[in-house]
Structure 1
Amino acid sequence: MLQPLRCAVRRGVQHSCCRRLSLSAQCYSSARKGLVLGVYEKNKEDEILVLTQAGDRFDSTVSGKLRDQLERSGPSLKKGKSRIFYGLHQEFPSVVVVGLGKESVGFNQAELWNERKENIRTAVSVGCRHLQELEIEQVEVDPCGDAQAAAEGAVLGLFEYNELKKKKKKVVTPALFGSKEEEAWQKGVSFAEGQNLARYLMESPANYITPTRFAQIFEEKLGKLGSNVKVFTRQKSWIVEQQMGAFLSVAKGSEEPPVFLEIHYTGSPDPLESPLVFVGKGVTFDSGGISIKPSSGMDEMRADMGGAATICSAILTAATLKLPINLIGLAPLCENMPSGRANKPGDVVRARNGKTIQVDNTDAEGRLLLADALCYANSFNAQAIVNAATLTGAMVVALGSAATGVFTNSSWLWTHLQEAGGITGDRMWRMPLFEHYSKQVTESALADVNNVGKDGRSGGSCTAAAFLKEFVTVPHWAHLDIAGVMMNKDEVPYMRKGMSGRPTRTLIEFADRLSKDKKPS
């Protein structure tokens, strides 16, 4: 039984005889520290192996063994692929080398994202998960030339919702290999943890994350951050006082009481500076109401509060990072359920601004919540209002999971959102907000507006945006329809399957960008 172990140590890689006897993992599982290093694709002209700076430094400490083993162990590592070596270094008995793709790549205009950052996120996540499978609890990570992207890849890649399972995966704590880029690494950790919080909330069962519990979680987390963060959990009596009849009409079908969560973060040196207001749809479970959804896949509607989860998590992260900007978060929270009290198709309800709404489809409920929340948001003298919502199945059809659909009345706002998405890899795509779509919702038989377009399913995401526009008075507003990016199957390789928490990091990056820019007059 010693021979396979000697093979593994001598050759560095996991030998086939070790795999057969399952000795490799057993022999090294007692060593609880692993290392992830990056390598670029070989240049076709000279076929020279190019390690990262951290990889070069490590290789020098092991007398060139890493480079030698990489050359011997097979063809050049392709982008997103990994190879593990054992016994190269006493402190790191397990070393995973990951392929970063071409060293020369940068912003890809055709793909509208920074390809280098995406390659790093993907590669690092693969390496960290490889070590997690070996039950290695401490992992150090090569910054790969961009410590923030590396941290995001590590933290996003290791997340898995197993809160309610008896058997849980080992908790892995990723850390930076070296200390020169610690600030960028910690920023990446914060960005990724913000998105992971949104993933946690969206993945949790609806009987665990009720409107009340959702609000409590943010009260607890934000309450620890100091006096510049204030949280208001508004109850039904306040919602009635505010005359939010559209919101209440959705909530009345459920036994769960509605909650209106309001968050204020004052990070600007000027506390009176106009805030950026985030608004998020917070339907903690959406059955469709009387216009009930098909039972197949209805369980996924526990994540219909994804808008609220992403905007609240983004504000929490901004407060943690102490971004110099004033932020307000508004999240109307409730369930959409069928009952004797629920909205009926054809009912007419009144929004906070006095407009009446004909509810022809009770499954188009998110826009009713947002109508009242947007009316309230108008009162804050905002430099901009951005709302996020898993609003329409039509957006899933239009863009799939490639990008968030953005409807906006402001090119200034759009530019910042698009550029933020290019940096985070959570892309944005601008959709039309034509008067054509407004006519579809304002020509209603019984009320000022209808909650569905008169042409039925045609342009469903566009008519939903046009409906929201009827409740906005500010010159800089954007509606993010995140229905298509709600879940991850295998489209984002640095995240496991499940609820994605997108586009939390883009909202954080966007807020960071706005903190350095002045709103045009």
Structure 2
Amino acid sequence: MIPLRRAVLANRCRYFSASPALCGDGKGLVLGVYEKEKEGGLHLTESATSFDSSVSGKLSELLHISGPALKKGKSRIFYGIHKNFPCVAVVGLGKKGAGVCGMEKWDVGKENVRQAVSVGCRQLQDAEVKHVEVDDCGDAQSAAEGAALGLFQYDQLKSKKKAKVTTQLHGSADTEGWERGMLYAEGQNLARLLMEAPANYVTPTAFADTIEEKVARHAERVTVHKRSQAWIAEQQMGAFLSVTRGSEEPPVFLEIHYKGAPDCTQAPLVLVGKGVTFDSGGISIKPSPSMDAMRADMGGAATVCASVVTAAALKLPVNIIGLAPLCENMPSGKATKPGDVVTAKNGKTIQVDNTDAEGRLILADALCYAHNFNPRAIVNVATLTGAMDVALGSAATGVFTNSDWLWEQLQKASVVTGDRVWRMPLFQHYTRQVTDCQLADLNNIGKYSRSGGACTAAAFLREFVTAPHWAHLDIAGVMANKDEVPYLRKGMAGRPTRTLVEFAGSLAHLG
């Protein structure tokens, strides 16, 4: 009897042995399973239950004999149990019915779906499956986000690339949610693409051209202006120009208008993104280790512009203006020197004691310009300070705002997307540190330099804002991903694009 039992088990195990060759060019399938309840058995999703019935319970049987119950974010792959799907990845979704966690400040169920689906899709990609159908796992939008975000990898410049995988929804009527999730993820992936690309490929001009190309299909609703250096000078943006002086690459002030509201006179949401396509630090040059990562110092501009592209693709009924001052920060004989004084668009003078604190200079002029549009709200996004990374790490984007209403809307959006935000202080304590200046109205670094660096940078920006609803998002800590976000591979993260899109969409419902 014992040899016979071993033979039966061996025969069954062929279904989940590591045999990628069995997949060939066929389809793969990702199905979800919830953590087993104490008194119950397997708890398959609706799609997984239907699939299990179609194979006479074979899936349930294999899950029972293949090892311990699947934990959240773990996966198991089976081969040859269905003629249409040679490869089936079953993924753990955690506990069924998980919702918003007050401590974690996100929707646990949505995050579990994103994580699980991304794991399953990657496993099938490794098995060289070229087309994958995905169980909606109870939330089609989150499943789509997990699939598209999890499969993205920047390998454009490599001769050997990862196998391309196409995905579609399996066994669900919520195609609208799936398509919305795909557009959210594609927006974040566009930001990741721009941030990851080398600085000699994504110059200010190349960045602007890429965004113009991406919105071309929405020309009836989107207008793009690529403002030249001469225009920047006419606008008296002396702070922005002071950063550009050391580089041979000409600056571009990118301006994107999306008109999605039925009422064309509706006040727009203005998004402003820091667009330093490479930051050497200028004369206050950075240390060479990890300086290559400064190709992503335009992450603010990347997320802002990707958000406008996504809003247009979604046809959000809201007006949005995206502003991106684009330039390089380089050392040369023409570069701004520590101690120089420059004049911003609003007439305030700035003593530049550290040329590596350049992001706040280009944002100062862009924020002044943003007020021309009588905005409903202004939100600027920037990889502004290493101090923000020290304070929050990669857990959340730091938000400094003069508006409780605006904070509430951003925070609500981040709970939905799982790309969290955290409110930081804007005390006068920090303002005094940037206004106590020897030669000018303001100093571009705080009086005590390193202490509260993210807060003094925000206080500096506030000096160029008169709008009642303004928020500064410091994304330095969330710029890159190592392994903190399971559904993002290692590399530039493109965060918080989906939160910006969700926030913009919420404004349409607020009237």
What's the secondary structure of 2:70's corresponding residue? coil
Report the CA distance between 1:14 and its aligned residue: 3.1
CA distance in 2, matches of 1:154, 1:9: 32
Tell me if 1:262 matches 2:255: yes
Report the CA distance between 1:31 and its aligned residue: 4.2
Report the CA distance between 1:104 and its aligned residue: 2.8
CA distance in 1, matches of 2:445, 2:158: 41
| Residues 226 and 255, structure 2, Cα contact 8 Å, conserved in 1 | yes
Runs of 4+ in 1 over 6 A off after TM superposition: 5-9
Tell me if 1:97 matches 2:84: no
Tell me if 1:389 matches 2:391: no
| Residues 234 and 262, structure 1, Cα contact 8 Å, conserved in 2 | yes
Tell me if 1:153 matches 2:146: yes
- AA aligned to 1:481 is D
CA distance in 1, matches of 2:66, 2:273: 50
Q: 2:26 aligns with which of 32, 56, 60?
A: 32
1:12–1:511 Cα change, 3 Å: farther
Q: 2:117 aligns with which of 112, 121, 124?
A: 124
Report the CA distance between 1:417 and its aligned residue: 0.4
The aligned residue for residue 427 of structure 1 is: 420
What's the secondary structure of 1:157's corresponding residue? helix
The aligned residue for residue 4 of structure 2 is: none
The aligned residue for residue 43 of structure 1 is: 37
Report the CA distance between 1:25 and its aligned residue: 1.8
| Residues 9 and 86, structure 1, Cα contact 8 Å, conserved in 2 | no
CA distance in 1, matches of 2:382, 2:405: 21
What's the secondary structure of 1:224's corresponding residue? helix
| Residues 25 and 130, structure 2, Cα contact 8 Å, conserved in 1 | no
Tell me if 1:298 matches 2:291: yes
Normalized against structure 1, the TM-score is what? 0.96
Count the aligned residue pairs. Answer: 506
CA distance in 2, matches of 1:252, 1:8: 70
> For residues 327-370 of structure 1, what are the alpha-carbon distances to aligned partners after superposition, in whole Å with 9 as ceiling and x for unaligned?
00000000000000111000000000110000000000000000
| Residues 353 and 444, structure 2, Cα contact 8 Å, conserved in 1 | yes
Tell me if 1:409 matches 2:390: no
CA distance in 1, matches of 2:440, 2:280: 25
| Residues 394 and 459, structure 1, Cα contact 8 Å, conserved in 2 | yes
CA distance in 2, matches of 1:66, 1:394: 50
Q: 1:140 aligns with which of 130, 133, 144?
A: 133
Report the CA distance between 1:221 and its aligned residue: 1.2
Equivalence map 1:396-475=2 (5 Å): 396-475=389-468
RMSD: 1.3
| Residues 12 and 88, structure 1, Cα contact 8 Å, conserved in 2 | no
The aligned residue for residue 11 of structure 1 is: 13
CA distance in 2, matches of 1:406, 1:43: 39
The aligned residue for residue 355 of structure 1 is: 348
Identity %: 68
> For residues 49-87 of structure 1, what are the alpha-carbon distances to aligned partners after superposition, in whole Å with 9 as ceiling and x for unaligned?
100001011111111111111111111000000001111
Report the CA distance between 1:443 and its aligned residue: 1.1
What's the secondary structure of 2:33's corresponding residue? strand
| Residues 225 and 254, structure 2, Cα contact 8 Å, conserved in 1 | yes
Report the CA distance between 1:174 and its aligned residue: 1.0
| Residues 26 and 84, structure 2, Cα contact 8 Å, conserved in 1 | no
| Residues 8 and 14, structure 1, Cα contact 8 Å, conserved in 2 | no
| Residues 31 and 93, structure 1, Cα contact 8 Å, conserved in 2 | no
> For residues 266-318 of structure 1, what are the alpha-carbon distances to aligned partners after superposition, in whole Å with 9 as ceiling and x for unaligned?
00000010000000000000000000000000000000000000000000000
Unpaired runs of 5+ in structure 2? 1-6
Report the CA distance between 1:158 and its aligned residue: 0.1
Unpaired runs of 5+ in structure 1? none
> For residues 480-499 of structure 1, what are the alpha-carbon distances to aligned partners after superposition, in whole Å with 9 as ceiling and x for unaligned?
00000000000000010000
| Residues 9 and 87, structure 1, Cα contact 8 Å, conserved in 2 | no
Report the CA distance between 1:9 and its aligned residue: 6.5
- AA aligned to 1:32 is G
1:32–1:404 Cα change, 3 Å: same
CA distance in 2, matches of 1:260, 1:188: 30
- AA aligned to 2:324 is A
Equivalence map 1:162-181=2 (5 Å): 162-181=155-174
Tell me if 1:86 matches 2:73: no
The aligned residue for residue 247 of structure 1 is: 240
CA distance in 1, matches of 2:319, 2:284: 40
CA distance in 2, matches of 1:29, 1:385: 50
CA distance in 2, matches of 1:439, 1:329: 31
CA distance in 2, matches of 1:180, 1:217: 35
CA distance in 1, matches of 2:252, 2:61: 61
Report the CA distance between 1:34 and its aligned residue: 0.2
> For residues 221-252 of structure 1, what are the alpha-carbon distances to aligned partners after superposition, in whole Å with 9 as ceiling and x for unaligned?
11221321000000101000000000000001
What's the secondary structure of 1:289's corresponding residue? coil
Report the CA distance between 1:198 and its aligned residue: 0.3
Normalized against structure 2, the TM-score is what? 0.97
The aligned residue for residue 176 of structure 2 is: 183
Tell me if 1:321 matches 2:323: no
| Residues 136 and 172, structure 2, Cα contact 8 Å, conserved in 1 | no
Q: 2:103 aligns with which of 104, 107, 110?
A: 110
Report the CA distance between 1:47 and its aligned residue: 3.6
| Residues 12 and 69, structure 1, Cα contact 8 Å, conserved in 2 | no
| Residues 15 and 81, structure 2, Cα contact 8 Å, conserved in 1 | no
CA distance in 1, matches of 2:347, 2:147: 49
The aligned residue for residue 331 of structure 1 is: 324
1:124–1:381 Cα change, 3 Å: same
CA distance in 1, matches of 2:420, 2:140: 21
Report the CA distance between 1:199 and its aligned residue: 0.3
Report the CA distance between 1:217 and its aligned residue: 0.5
CA distance in 2, matches of 1:286, 1:252: 13
Tell me if 1:286 matches 2:279: yes
CA distance in 2, matches of 1:223, 1:417: 29
What's the secondary structure of 1:174's corresponding residue? strand
CA distance in 2, matches of 1:515, 1:317: 15
